[in-house]
Amino acid sequence: MNSLFDAETLRAEFPILGETAYGKPLVYLDNAATTQKPRAVIDALAAYYLHDNSNVHRGAHCLAERATAAFETARDDVAALLNASREEIIWTRGTTEAINLVAQSYGGSTLKPGDEVVISSLEHHANIVPWQQVCARTGATLRVIPLKAEHNGELDLATLDTLINERTRIVAVVHVSNALGIINPVQDIIARARTVGATVLVDGAQAVSHFPVDVQALDCDFYTFSAHKLFGPTGVGVLYGRRALLEAMPPYQTGGEMIEKVTFETSTWNQLPYKFEAGTPHIGGVVAFGAAVRWFRAQDRTAMAAHEADLLAYATQQARAFPGLKIIGDAPNKVAVLSFLLEGAHPNDVGTLLDQQGVAVRTGHHCTMPLMDALGIPGTVRAAFAPYNTRDDVDRLFAALEKVRRFL
């Protein structure tokens, strides 16, 4: 157990963790879907609407000035988190919109018949469907990095030399599998892509809350994630893009802040990052997300990571000893996600019975239908841990699973 991390003190910062479910104390293990929010984030969102509510950038009054300052400070916070420049940080509604932006703007303007886009078998639908659509529109071909033959959820990197070749224009891969928690060797994939001059997007939605991400060290061209998976609000996402690429890309949407000048004959675009931020943004959400990033960066992130690793090891140990339970994605390099099946039980039934005991998990295909097809299963039960979870939460999970096993 990690004795240097005080999860109980951290839990006190998250009001919702004091809730009950069906009369039982809540055990929240659905953190890969969305994390809960500390009071600092909730207070920041409330303070914006109570004291600073205004549109940003163009208002000639003090509320607009305060709102704009908070909005742009949040951009600086995210830039520092990723080791990027502020002009390379684009606000979106989430990871999904960020990937669509790159697929439609960069992919749609550069791909042509004969070109290839490479993704992996571990991708979320949000990093599959946009590339399918742009390939269909441009005549490019979508290729997929397969899983290893042993089906432990790891990618077969032996295929990279043939899959990523002189026809490859874009490689789009997930940093951490949302379904299995497996950490992909993205640096190896990026290094291979560099040898053929391919552009690389990394879906970091499940990564940024678990370990440091440095886009300069990764050498990726685009990196995406969502605020709500990093203790922030829903409806806010981040696209990091290399400045030279963003400068060359056409706008994804038009109108509002992304405009420099408009006549009835033509229009010109604003400078970065505003070129890709059409319309009134989710200002309160961005301000609150800035508070989330500052809160997160103020934590002992090394101790947090050690605590999560302890939770995963503790849960995995119990899972391996549990009768009839099969871990899905039992690979060594993972974040704190335990995905599993219970013999003779449908995942949805298991999730419903756990919920009635106050244990919140995620069930189903986790927006990774092709991965589930490759594994030959309909879906899994997924318990995803965060720093505010404890070993007691793990014990509650397995005590509840024992009741489920007896019932079913």
Per-residue pLDDT tens digits for 42-55: 999 999 999 999 99
Within 10 A of 212 (CB to CB), how many other CB atoms are there?
Answer: 14
User: Cα dihedral sign for 246, 85, 130, 200?
Assistant: positive
CATH 1.20.200.10 fits 7-30+300-407, yes or no: no
- Whether 2 shows a pLDDT value over 60: the answer reads no
- Per-residue model confidence (pLDDT) at position 216: 98
* pLDDT of 171 higher than 60: yes
CA–CA gap between residue 290 and residue 301 (Å, rounded): 17
Beta-sheet pairing, 168-174 with 141-145: unpaired
**What tokens were used for 17?**
């963790």
Per residue, the 3-state secondary structure of 235-271, as one string, reads CCEEEEECHHHHHHCCCCCCCHHHEEEECCCCEEECC
CATH of domain 43-297: 3.40.640.10
Contact predicate 382/304, CB 8 Å = no
Across the chain, mean pLDDT equals 96
CA atoms within 13 A on the CB side of 46: 7
For residues 293 and 273, what is the distance between their CA atoms, to the nearest angstrom?
A: 19
47, 67 Cβ separation under 8 angstroms: no
The least confident of 57-66, 69-78, 125-134 is: 57-66
Average pLDDT over residues 115-144: 98
> How many other C-beta atoms lie within 10 A of the C-beta of residue 85?
14
pLDDT at 83: 98
Q: Tell me, what's the pLDDT at 256? A: 87
Measured from the Cβ of residue 395, the count of other Cβ atoms closer than 10 Å reads: 14
Res 340: pLDDT: 98
Q: Is the pLDDT of residue 350 over 70?
A: yes
The answer, yes or no, to whether residue 381 has pLDDT greater than 60, is yes
Question: What are the extents of the domains in the chain?
Answer: 7-30+300-407, 43-297
The pLDDT value given to residue 245 = 98
Q: How far apart are CA 86 and CA 88, in angstroms?
A: 5
pLDDT band at 150 (very low <50, low <70, confident <90, very high): confident
pLDDT of residue 154: 95
Q: List pLDDT tens digits, range 279-304.
A: 999 999 999 999 999 999 999 999 99
The predicted pLDDT at position 316 comes to 98
Distance CA 192, CA 251 (A): 29
How do beta strands 168-174 and 116-120 pair?
parallel
Percent of all residues in the chain with a pLDDT value above 90, rounded to a whole number: 96
Catalytic residue among 62, 135, 220, 367: 367
pLDDT at site 113: 98
Encoding tokens for residue 233? 């609000």
Instruction: Give the tokens for residue 180.
Output: 């299995």
- The encoded tokens of residue 296 equal 């997160």
Tell me the whole-structure pTM to 2 decimals.
Answer: 0.97
Q: What is the mean pLDDT of residues 128-156?
A: 95
Q: Do domains 7-30+300-407 and 43-297 have the same CATH topology?
A: no
Residue whose entry in the numeric block shows the structure tokens 């991390």: 5
Query: DSSP string of 196-243?
Result: TT-EEEEE-TTTTTTS---HHHHT-SEEEEEGGGTTS-TT-EEEEE-H
**pLDDT at position 324 over 80:** yes
The stretch 266-270 carries a mean pLDDT of 95
Q: Pairing state of beta strands 27-28 and 222-226?
A: unpaired
On the question of pLDDT at 1 being above 60, the answer is no
367 is catalytic: yes
pLDDT at 59: 80
Percent of the chain with pLDDT over 70: 99
In the three-class reduction of DSSP (H, G, I as helix; E, B as strand; rest coil), residue 70 is classed as helix
Does residue 3 have a pLDDT over 60?
no
CB 387 within 8 A of CB 304: yes
